Amino acid sequence: MSTTISVLSAALAAAGNSEVIWHPADYWDLSIPVYLFLAVVAGGAYLTGASACLIRSLRGKGACCLETEIARWGFLVAIAAAAGAGLAVLSHLAVIYRAILFPIYLTNFDSWITIGTWILVLLSLFAVVCLLLQLFGEHAASDEGASLFPRTIVAWVSPVLLETIDGLVDRVRPPMSVFAGLHLLGSLFALGTIYTGFELAIVDTVPLWNDPVIIPALFLTSGVAAGIGATLALTMLFEREIGPVFAGYALTVSLLSAVSLALLYYGWILLAASDAPAAAASYATLTDGWYYVGAWLVVLGFVAPMIIGLVIGLATFADRLSPTLERVGGPALIGSFGLLLVGGLLFRILLLLAAAQNPLVVIG
């Protein structure tokens, strides 16, 4: 069909009496890219929290350690991001109660929308359970750290309530084997947030989206990197400590950013070489005006954490982190993670805004 339209438009254009206008693909509103982004950020933050718990266990550390702070911030970011993604979807829907009653209305498990809703809800539940186990109980009562602010809020509301919650959490706290299984299952749902990419990749009428490998992979790597980065940024704001654990996470963000940049470049090359008219229209849109500026901001969002995370991480493990580098390293990492968050969200916005699919031949 697209070939026929192209031939027809070319013939009419040659006659000098037509113009082809490419309509944008069905674009909803800004709530959709926010949802697509925050859902994967939640997955990345959960993976950070779960892995920090694993590292703490392997190193034989107690509750009062950097790993505990990273774990709590990770689960907090996961819950906040998942809640933000849910609110973004709700703001887009005309009938909100259908989303609230999703177990009744969303039963088509051949749809990525249905699968994704279940993944996001279950990930949120796992994050809440894991956070409660980290925030309350005997160990948390004797711990310190900025991530314990929910305990302060509960204590302000009612000291008796705090004691009650601490007691309940200690009574239901699972053994380490069950705890590890909980984190493992939650991590599978965190990786399952790759569904956000499949929701677009299955749309075969939009060449800019229709890639079953690049789009989902890029959504996952960029979103998980942003989730880890957001967790590290919050931890760094209060701890001001760059040690081996923190450096390891910084290197992970660097690696994921590099992979995201490589996938982005490969996708760009495929788009530029595509002979699909709608793909050419999307490419032209992304290389013109503010869209082009936005595309370079996306690239900067991946390049900054890739370079800064690599430098800080390698310097730490090589024992070459000088006092000056450590002093500027924290703010530099926080800034690069901020750029990563902006770039990840902007990438999804551009992906929706620049998509084209419906040609309209205007006879002059």
In the chain the first and final C-alpha atoms are separated, in Å, by 23
Residue at token pair 């279940």: 118
**Per-residue confidence (pLDDT) for residue 103, from 0 to 100:** 54
Q: Is the pLDDT of residue 18 over 70?
A: no
Q: Over the chain, what is the mean pLDDT?
A: 85
The residue ranking higher by pLDDT, 219 or 6, is 219
Q: Are 129 and 78 in contact (CB under 8 A)?
A: no
pLDDT digits (tens, 9 = 90+) for 150-191: 888 998 988 889 899 988 988 988 888 888 899 999 999 999
The neighbouring-strand residues paired with 20 are 361
Over residues 260-271, the mean pLDDT reads 95
Rounded distance, CA 117 to CA 137, Å?
A: 31
Residue at token pair 């450096």: 247
**Per-residue confidence (pLDDT) for residue 12, from 0 to 100:** 43
Query: Where do the domains of the chain lie?
Result: 20-363
Rounded distance, CA 118 to CA 112, Å?
A: 10
Over residues 238-259, the mean pLDDT reads 91
pLDDT digits (tens, 9 = 90+) for 203-212: 888 889 989 9
Secondary structure (DSSP) of 265-300: HHHHHHHHH---HHHHHHHHHHTSHHHHHHHHHHHH
Q: Which residues of 145-184 are buried (b: 16+ CB within 10 A; e: fewer)?
A: bebbebbeebeeeeeeebeebbeebeeebeeeeebeebbe
**Per-residue confidence (pLDDT) for residue 2, from 0 to 100:** 43
From the list 63, 43, 67, 40, the residue with the least C-alpha distance to 53 is: 67
**Per-residue confidence (pLDDT) for residue 105, from 0 to 100:** 55
pLDDT digits (tens, 9 = 90+) for 214-248: 999 999 999 999 999 999 999 999 877 788 898 99
Phi, psi at residue 59, to the nearest 5°? -85, -5
**Per-residue confidence (pLDDT) for residue 210, from 0 to 100:** 87
**Per-residue confidence (pLDDT) for residue 195, from 0 to 100:** 92
**Per-residue confidence (pLDDT) for residue 361, from 0 to 100:** 56
CATH of span 20-363: 1.20.1630.10
Confidence of residue 92 (pLDDT cuts 50, 70, 90): low
Tokens representing 89 are: 């979807």
